Each structure stands twice: as structure tokens, then as C-alpha cells.
Amino acid sequence: MDVSSQVAEMAGQLAQAVNTTMDPTVPHAVRLASYNLLEKVKEESEVAVGCGFHMAHPAKEPVVRHLGLQLLEHTIKYKWNDLSVQQKVFIKENTMQLVTDGTLDLLTEQLYVKDKVSRLVVEMMKREWPQQWPGLLDELHALSKRGPTQTELVLFVFLRIAEDVATLQNLESNQRRRDLYQAMTANMESMFGFFLSLLEENYKLYEATMKAQNLQPAQQHCRVMQVVLMTLTVYVEWVSVQHIFADDGKLLKSLCFLLSEDNLKMEAAECLLQIVSRKGKLDERRPLILLFGKAPMSTIFAAADRAVMGTLSEHNYRFLKTLTQVLTALGSQLCALWGKEADVGEPPNFRVYLDAMLAFTGHPSLHIYNFTNGLWGQLFRHEHIPQSKTLQAVLPSWITIVSRMVMKHGYPSKNDSESCQYSRLDFDSDEDYSYFFYKVRSETLETIKAASLLAPETLYSFVEEWLKNQVKKAADQGQQDKQLCNLFSPFYLEWEALSQVLESVMSRVMQSEGYKPTAESGLELLRLCLSYQTTDPLILSTLLSCISGLFVFIRLVPSVLPDVLNKIFSALTFSLPGQTKDSRSRAVKNVRRHGCSLMVKIARSYPDILLEAFDFINGVVDSLSHNPQELSQMEKVTLQESLMIINNHFHNFEKQSTFIGKVLGPVSEIWLNMKQPFSSPLDFMSFVGLDKAPVEPSENDVNGQNRAQIIFCVNLIMAVIKRSEFPTDTDVAERGGFILERSDSGAVFCRNPATPHVMPLLHQLFCLVRLFNALWHPEALACVSPGYSKAHNLPEAERNNILGLATINSSDPCIDSPKVQQPLERMQFFLSMMHDNCYHILGNAGVSLGLQFYQHPHLTDYLVHSSLANLHLIPDYRLRPIIRTFLKPFIQWCPPQCYQTVLLPILNHLCPFMLDRLSTRWGHLTSLIESGSYEEENTDTQEMLEDLLIRMLTREYVDLLKVVLIGGPRGDLGQLVLGCDTICQAIVTTLLKVLWWQDSGACLKAVGVVGQVLRWLVGEGQHLSPDAVRQVLLAVLQGLHTHGQHDANQSALLSLGLATYELFRPHFPNIREVLLGLPGVSAEDVQRFEEKILNPNAAAKSSKTEKIKKDNFKKLVIEIVGRNVGQAFKKEVHMNNLPPMFKNPRPKQPRVDDTDADIGLCSLFGPDLAESNGHQATF
């Protein structure tokens, strides 16, 4: 190709410019000038095409050639429609010449250069093929005959066009995408034949050159085969199955065969995975069962064996994972077909297949195991497969293998297991591994539960034997008495795995329809656990889990209950020699907490059994509680919770109330003594030590004891509120004396036995809540001790939770020492936990105490002047619990007769405040975003935290408004609230602002609520002004402008905008002015739109008509719909539609009244009708 001096000169400048941009030492201004030159030539230069071909010459540097190809691609993508026929032919011919001899050898050419060359052909195909380039496939076929280099480029063309048309579907023109898809489908048989012939030919050449030790040609043929397989991988995902299974499954046989070739096995496995993972009609997937045949299975298993036996490398490991996915996907196809398709049942090599899956299940890699676990779950839960004797036969082997996989080892930083070397390939840190391990273990335990229903006897026998052996092993070794275990000790890990599996099996075995373990067997296991003595807190904790799992046998053998309770009490009072209440190690604290939690668990699961032992449990708890050195405050509260759960099942109001009165007796006494400290913020600060210097150690902190008393009182009140219940059965409630009153509608209101004892304590609680808000007053903050200056900050764990960061534990898990909290941490914990727990009490009081709570004569005043006082002082993270934890359930459970007296005053106080609070906070955030000083990837942690908190607060407040407006029975509260002008205006204004504030999640929540509100307001149109209606539609349109880039928001807002216009247009004609003010919208456009949506003769509403209306509305507002910043300045690609490629339409029959010929109508009614075939007409 001749090159003009202008082209050569410009190409030289471009080559220099691109090298400048790649040089890290060049000043920014020089690099920017180079970028500008490149863009200017791309967009404006008439010699861009000439420069592109000149720079793409193989003799140039790769980066220069890549730029030349970019110039050509840019011209084809954005300027093709403006080029003359001669220019198009010039580009086409020279591009095909590039494919012919414009690249280096396929082994030395850069991949990005080869990709760009193929892209040129693909971009021309998108615009010209097949209608105006019918000979393309022949040209590509001819090019492939010129050698491996050209063949690879041709395959890249087929690969990229399939990705763009079928896989990614990223063509800008739907019509052109359909044309290309149809053309590819029509030629698929020849294309597949082409791919397979290339595979076969190159394999033969590869074998021959390898035998001749001619390595370079061998590598070339190998590379071609790799690209053929990569191309097939894209096609087999969507082409008709007839091409995949053609020639008696030639493709599948070839892929299975190539699994044995080290250089091709990865690509072959990925292609095979795409085939066996296909979705679609069952009859189309049925041929996949052929892979269960002896030959394919043996080939796949042989490849797996070689991979397992080979050296551990990333490539080999990746292949093994892909091969595992192939086998599990094949099993999933079997699950889909078995019993659903005729004659599809147990395949002939099913046992061989299951044995292979067992081998993969036992592989040390957690990822490979995870793939197989998903399949086992499908098999066990299938409708028909569990009846297979073959499957049941492998269950003993399966549970033996899986029980080892539940064991917690394999961390990347350790070498305590064969799994560690695989973990180092899969995970960057122990934290990543730990997260994935617990997820996999949770799914494994669910699979074990499914297997327990399928084969209860097998799994019970396994855990029975395992538990016996474990206890025997411990007794023989005596290890638990010599040295305490840590979290990575093999002995502890085995006990922990046993406890997990045992609990999973026992949770399902008793639910199975057939086999159930005998009482004698269960009693033996319980006795084994009860008699086993250990001084290791970690082992004791796992032993408690085993007892928890076996507790179900107590129904069969009630006589063992006292021994079980004694074992649990011995655990919750466990201590090591030399340890006191304040110096207990973490493991000791954990086992004691486990014992307390186990009491709550069995109280919830087996209250009827524990009811007979209530007095015994109560006596033990009382005895322990009176010993100041025995139980911690938390342990006392947890044990009282378990007693209250059992107490609920006496179904006797007086008896239950008497017990709760006894439980709350100590709180009443302490609470009364705190009247003075709760009287003012400064008195409270002095009482808890907030105005004093931090004291260390904690034993010397007198104010710390005061804080502990408050924590105990609040937690015990919360426990009573949450755990004390009245019977749900009305008859039982009536017999027990729980009925308070019956409404005229027949609704029954019950009284909680805790109400008489909790209600007197609420006044002090309201004082405490008021103080928590008042602590943020400037005068109170000024009195805070410098050592506690950060006491009001969020605790680190909660802060990290909001930011999505992992809480790093710096302590060594192998060293068991008590965690020592600093005084500041203790104060932070106290303020944060007590603030939240107070609102948990108030939030649960509604559902627990019921009508009596809401009918408290001063409830509204207490709430407005305590929890809702000084809200303007507190930060967002203190306001969130008030909205989410307290007000939402408080409103949700309020009886209708209390709406007017309780809820309206509270909402009248809250809603205007929240409107002002959120508007201010969002105004500040929006100004930062618009000024450009706010970045999504802001690295300032405090700014990120504040940003996330305002978003969370907004969403939670919208959830609260949804409960107010929609959540109540029949929407009575919503209508009542919207009938109050002050509350209505605050709520509606807030919701409309949320539509366009910079939070797509809050916007999506608000859309549904706004729609309900508008429908109600239409019925009250006399209260709305034309300007208010105009503001509603403007808010929706502003929301579209802000959030239109998100598909879900755009769809919801378009529906809301259309509904708004339809609702208000008949009563407020001025609303059309809003649409007329939109860019590009004329009066005629609005008129046509209104004719379509407001036509009284239009068909009834249907999904189709609504979609048409929505599309018409979208056309009007499209100019203001927001777009992602990455798409805002994107250069549009325009493709001209080509003439249709369909065959001529069928000839249209002439109308009867358009022809003069006799068509036999007269004879139809003639006298000879009885003898003639009157329905036939002659044309």
C-alpha cells in the first residue's frame, strides 16, 4: 500500500505520542498533550485510516501497531455510516490483508494485537454481514487454509462475534443482533463442522510433529487447538443441542479424549463444563446421560487420577476444580432428568460415578469439597433418587468422609493439614479462609440433616460409634487431664466436629418416618456424656453440645433429667484452680456462657419436660445467685430467662406473676435507690464516673460497680419483657386468668403476668432514656473527663460492622488469657449497650405488655419528654435505635383504640423533626457531591461512616413511615395520620425528598409508600393545591434524574410518575405544564400522550396496556433520566439496519368482495345441497 508523505508524517507523530503516554518519567503536561493529539486524530483527521494501516505494519513496535488498529476500529465503529462505498471496500480489503499477512507468527505475536485485528473483522460483520457480505464465511475458510497464524485469527473472529451477539448481547441495534444471530444459526452446521475438522486436523499434525521432535510446529498446532476449544466453549452454551450431539456425539468424545493431553485438558474441561451445565428443556438435555457411559466415565476418571497424582501447581489444581464441576454438573443434570423424563432412571455406571464423587468429596481442597457437597444435597433431597439402593449403599462411606471435612483445620498460615497447601492457592488470608469454611460447614451440616432423614439408622449408628470411640480414646490417652487444649488442638477439633455432626443428625433422626433409635441406646449415650469428666473448658463446651443434641431422648427416659441438669449446672459453675470471678480465662467464661445458653435452648425446645423440674432449677439458680463470687451479672440474667420461659407454660396468671415479681424484686430495690443519680445529667455522670479520671484496675473502680448495677437492672427488665408471655390459645388464656377484655369486634386482649411488676419500673427507665439524650448537651459534654473524651464514640466492633470491615483480633487464639478491657472501652460499652437495650425494652413492651402498656395514663408525655427529647443533640448512630428498635415495633403493635391518644401526639412531635434533620444532613451531603469534594472512594473513615449512617437512618425512617401508612390493619392509622395536616405535610414532604436524595436504596423503598399516599390524597383532593400537585410530579422527575441510571429505580419511578399523572390530571390540569417544561417536549407530544392514557374508551388495565403507557411516558421524560457518569459522555454507536433477510411473504388471498369469479357461494344454499359437497368452493 502506497503511503503519502502526510500519512507517514502523521503516523510518526502518533508513534511518538503513544510512546510518550507510556513513559512514566514524562511530565503530566507533555503526556496530556500526547493524549489530546491521539484523540484529535481519532475524531477529526481524514488520514486516520491511512495512518492506522501504516502503523499496523508488522515491522512496527507492538504498542504502535495496537494504536494503528485502534484508529481503524474507531473509524469502523463510529464513522462507518458516513464512509463512501469505495472507502468501505478499501478498509475491508486491507483488513482482510492484515489477517492474511499483517501479523507475526502466532507464537510470537502479542495477544492484544491479534485480538484487535480480529475485532476489525467483527465490527465490519456487525454492519454488513450477511446481507451485504454473503461471501464472508468462504473468505474466512479460505484464510484458515493459509496456515496456523491465519487460522487463529479466523477463530478469534468467530469467538468475538459469538460473544457480542449471543453471550454478552452488547450490540447497540437489536435488529442487527437478530440478523446476525439468525445468520449464525443458519450456518451453524457448517461452522461446527469447520471447528471440529480444525480440531481433528491439527491434532493429527500435532501428534506427527511431536513424534518428529519438531517442537515449534507442534506448539503452533497446539495453540490452534486451544483457540478452537475456547471458541467452542462460547458456542456450546447457546447453540441448538443437535450440533453438540451430532455425529453420534463426536464433540463430546473428542473433549473427553483431550482431557488426557496436558496442553489441552484445561480448555477441553471448560468446554465440557459449559455443555453439561446447559439449561433448557429436559428433552434437549437428555443426551447428556450418555456421559454416564463406561467410556466417557473412564476417560474423565483417568484424567482426574492423573491430576490428583501430579505435582501441585496452580494450572493442575485449576483443572482439577473444573473437572469436579463437570462431574457435579453432570450429577445435577441427572437429578433434573431422573423420574421426569421417560425411561430416565438409574444409569448403568451410577455406582462408579458415586465412588468417584466420594473420592472428590474426600479431597483436601475445601473448594473441591464444596462443589461435591452441593451435589450430595441435591441427590439426598431428590424426589426419586433417595430410593436408589446404590445411593444408600455409599452413605456409610460418605458420612465417614464428610465428618472429617467438618473439622476446622486447613488455614493458609498453618501446616497442620494437607488442606493448607490448597488453601494457600485459594485464599489470601486466614480471615478469608475462615469465612468460607464456616459457610461450607453450615451447608455441610444441612446436607447431613437431609441424609439423616434418608438413612436415619446409618447416620445414627455412625455418630453413636464415633461418640463411644471418642470417649474411649480420651480415657485411654488421659490427654484432657494433662494439658489444656487450645482452639487448634487436634483433640479439641475432633470433639468439636463430633458435636456439630451429632446435633445435626439428632435434629432429624427422630423426625424420620421409619427407623428411630431406642430409648436404651439414647440413654447409653447420655450416660456416656454425663459420666465423662474433664477439666478442659473447651472439651466441656463440646460435651455440652453433645448433651444438647441427645436431649431429645429425655422424652423417652425422663428419669435421667436430674443428672443432665446437674451436668449443665456443673458446666455453668466451672472454674479452673486459682481463677476468681474477675480473672477467669476466655475458655472458662465461654463454657459457663454455653451452659447458661443451653438452659435457655432446652427451655425453649422442651418446656413441658422441664416444667416438672422447675422448682429444682429455681432452687439451684437462687442458690447460685446469692453467692456473689459465683455468677456474673450476665449469667444470672440468662438463667432467669430460662426460668421465665419454663414459667410461661404453667398457664396460670397468678402463679407466673408471683414468680416474675420475685425475679424483679432486686431490681425494684436498686431502681428506687437510683432516683437521685437519674435526676440530672451531671448527677448521672458523677454516678457512673464519666466526669472522673479513668480508674485501673476495674476492681478499684467504685463507679464501675454503679454501672454494673444499671446493666443488671436494664438487662433483667429486658429479659422479663422479651421472655414473659401469655398463652396464644384463647381457651387456655381464659382458663388461666389472662383475659383482660374483649372488644366489640370480638378481639381478645390478654394481660401479661409481668405487667404489674414492669410498669412501676418504667418511670425510672424513661428517666434513664432522657439522660442518655441529655448527655449530648454542651454543658454535659464539657464536664466529661479527658480520659473519657471518646466515650460517646461508636464502639470499634459496631463501627467496623457499619463500614464492612473485619474486626481484627490481635490476640493469639492458642493463648487463653482473659481479655482486659481498658477503662475507655468499658465506658463506651456501657453507654452504647445501655442506650440500645433501653430502646429494646420500650420496643418490646408493646407486643409483650399489650393494651395495658398503651393505656398507661402518662405514656405519651413520658415518651415525648424522654426518648424523643433533645433529639437534635444526638448523632445519627444514637438516633437509629430510636427509629428502628423502639418506634417501629411500638407503632406496629399499637391497638387501634390508642391511635388517637398515643400515636398521633408522638408522630406530631417526630415527623417534622425528622424532615428537618434529614433535609439538613442530605443538604450537606448533596452540596459535597455537587461541589466535587466528595468521592465515592473516599478514604476518610469518619466521612465514610457519616455517609453510611445517614443512608441507613433514611432507609430505616422510610421503613417506619411504611408501617405508619400501610402496615396497620386496614390502613386505619395511615388515613388518620394523613388527615392531620401537620403530620401529613411532614411525611409527604419527606417521602418526596427521599425520591431524589442521593441514595437509591432509600428511593426504592419510598416509591411504594408514595404511591399509596397519592392514591389516598386523590380522594381528598380539596386539601391539595395545584402547586402541591405540581411539586409531587417534579419530585418524581427529579428522582428519575438522580437515580435513572439504576434499572430498578428507573422502572419504579416511571411507574410512579405515570400513576401520578393519571391520578391528578383529571382534577389538576396544570400538571401538564410540568411535562411541557421538559427539554424536547412539545404541546403536541403531551397531547398525544394524554390521548393514549386518559382515553375513557381505552381497554381495561392489563400488563400490556400499562407497559405501553409506561413506554410512552418514558419517551417524554427520557432527556432528564439520569445516566451513570461512565455512560454520560459515551460516544454513541449507530448501526444502520440492513434489508430484511427473510424469504418473500406468502401470497395474500383476495377478499371475497374483490373478485368477480364464481366462488360457489350460491351453490352453498342451492337445491342440490343434499347431493353436493357444499363446503367446497371452486376458485
Name the pLDDT band for 209 (thresholds 50, 70, 90): very high
Q: What is the DSSP string of 915-951?
A: HHHHHHHHHHHHHHHHHT---TT---HHHHHHHHHHH
Longest dimension (CA), the chain: 122
Judge whether residue 1142 has pLDDT over 80: no
| Alpha-carbon distances of 844 from 36, 522, 539, rounded to whole Å | 65, 39, 37
Range in 8-22, 191-205, 676-690, 1084-1098 the model is least confident about: 1084-1098
- pLDDT-derived band at 970, boundaries 50, 70, 90: low
Cβ atoms of residues 1044 and 1123 within 8 Å: yes
Strand partners, 741: 749
Mean pLDDT (the chain, rounded): 90
**Residue ranges per structural domain of the chain:** 455-650, 659-808+821-893, 898-1128
Q: How many CA atoms lie within 13 A of 424 on its CB side?
A: 11
- Lowest model confidence (mean pLDDT) among 576-585, 830-839, 1013-1022: 1013-1022
* Per-residue pLDDT reduced to its tens digit, 709-743: 999 999 999 999 999 999 999 999 999 999 988 87
Give the pLDDT mean for 60-73: 95
pLDDT band at 1157 (very low <50, low <70, confident <90, very high): low
| Residue type at position 1160 | G
pLDDT of the residue at 548: 94
Q: Quick one: CA dihedral 160, 161, 164, 167, positive or negative?
A: negative
User: Would you place residue 1165 in the very low, low, confident or very high pLDDT band (cuts 50, 70, 90)?
Assistant: low
- What pLDDT does 1169 receive? 43
Tens digit of each residue's pLDDT (9 = 90 or more) over 909-952: 999 999 999 999 999 888 877 776 665 545 567 888 889 999 99
Asked whether the predicted pLDDT for residue 786 surpasses 90, the reply is yes
Reported as a single tens digit per residue, the pLDDT across 235-271 is 999 999 999 999 888 999 999 999 999 999 999 999 9
Does residue 52 surpass a pLDDT of 80?
Answer: yes
571 has pLDDT over 60: yes
The pLDDT assigned to 477 comes to 72
Q: How many CA atoms lie within 13 A of 317 on its CB side?
A: 17
Three-class SS of residue 748? strand
The three three-digit cell numbers of residue 110, written as one number:
502479542
Give the global pTM.
0.88
pLDDT at 481 (0 to 100): 53
Smallest CA-to-CA distance from 159 within 219, 226, 110, 109 is with: 226
Whether residue 513 is predicted with pLDDT greater than 90 in this model: the reply is no
326-347 per-position pLDDT tens digit: 999 999 999 999 988 777 788 8
964-979: average pLDDT: 81
Q: Is the pLDDT of residue 375 over 60?
A: yes
Rounded-to-integer distance, Cα 677 and Cα 693, Å: 19
Task: Specify the pLDDT at position 932.
Answer: 63
d(C-alpha 17, C-alpha 30), whole Å? 9
pLDDT at 511: 85
pLDDT at 499 over 90: yes
Query: What is the average per-residue pLDDT within 1133-1150?
Result: 71
8 Å CB contact between 838 and 769: yes
Q: How confident is the model at residue 616 (pLDDT cuts 50, 70, 90)?
A: very high
pLDDT greater than 60 at residue 980: yes
Residue pair 966/978 in contact by the 8 Å Cβ criterion: no
Which sign, positive or negative, has the C-alpha torsion 289, 290, 293, 298?
A: negative
- What is the DSSP secondary structure assignment for residue 823, as one 8-state letter? H
Q: State how far the Cα of 1153 lies from the Cα of 239, in Å rounded to an integer.
A: 48
Contact assessment for residue 980 and residue 973, using Cβ atoms and an 8 Å cutoff: no
Average pLDDT over residues 62-77: 95
Architecture of domain 455-650: Alpha Horseshoe (1.25)
Percent of the chain's residues with pLDDT above 70: 92
pLDDT at residue 819 tops 80? no
Looking at the chain, the whole-number percentage of residues with pLDDT higher than 90 is 71
Read off the pLDDT of each residue in 295-323 and give the average, rounded to a whole number.
90
Residue reference for cell 443441542 = 241
pLDDT category at 480 given cuts 50, 70, 90 is: very low
Q: Could you read off the pLDDT of 991-1023 as tens digits, one per residue?
A: 999 999 999 999 999 999 999 899 888 876 556
- Residue 161 above 90 pLDDT? yes
User: Lowest mean pLDDT: which of 450-459, 696-705, 867-876?
Assistant: 696-705
Residue 836's pLDDT is 96
Q: What pLDDT sits at residue 308?
A: 85
156 has a pLDDT exceeding 90: yes
